[in-house]
Amino acid sequence: MEKDNTLSQISRSVNNSSADTKALAKQISEYINGNSLSQIAQNLQQIEALMSCYRCAIMEVETKFRVLNEQFSLSHERNPIDSIKTRLKSPESIIEKLNRKNYPNTINSIEENIKDVAGIKVICSFIDDIYMLADCLLQQDDIKLIERKDYIKNPKENGYRSLHLIVEIPIFLQDEKRLMKVEVQLRTIAMEFWANLEHKLRYKKNLSEKTASLTAKELSECAQMSAILDEKMQRVRDEIENSD
């Protein structure tokens, strides 16, 4: 009876949902049909435990950056970090990515194949702060670099700039030690400004081919102006510091 009620709720919600939500609801319905309630409860507990581990990993990496920021401020009288943002991928996003990449929909598959479940974004004042902080993080003996993509030196075609790191860090739980992956994005305030507005302007917009092409060109030009601004601001800072 409980399972029938769950399926009825999913069925009612599907009628007023988007295509993506309908597909997800169908997967959930098929999953419920193929598993007992005890199996479903057990899997949910495993997912909750995994997400908790990712949250712990985020806290570990965030603490490392806050310590570096504090230490740097003592010796240089300024903070290299403007702000830190964290995020945990939603179950819907995880399932979508597993399906898009043709990975198995299992707990082990999430850990092995999805490297950006846990994410932390470090917003810096200047470009050289980005590389300094990345180097300091990677020099720590409990951090292992899994992947590095430098979109600052090699911007994406649309103009996107940022330094991306996938790192592995140990977390110490009540009765075990686990190695967890965290995606770290380091960018300047200008890079963050451009990325946020670009996402809002282009996300799931049904634009004509002509408008899309014109928009892409204008956003790319904005990205170039943003890069020039970063370089100019860093030169101004260098001139001020070298004059002391």
Measured CA angle at 195 (ends 219, 117), to 5 deg? 140
Tokens at 213, concatenated: 């092409």
> Comparing C-alpha atoms, which of 203, 216, 75, 96 is closest to residue 156?
216
Is 183 known to be catalytic? yes
In eight-state DSSP terms, residue 34 is: T
Q: How far is CA 98 from CA 19, 102, 105, 108, 166, in A?
A: 18, 6, 6, 12, 18
70, 77, 183, 209: which is the annotated catalytic residue? 183
Alpha helices per DSSP H over the chain:
2-14, 19-33, 37-76, 91-100, 107-113, 127-138, 189-202, 209-242
Measured CA angle at 114 (ends 110, 115), to 5 deg? 130
β-strand partners of 148: 165
Which residues are tagged catalytic? 183
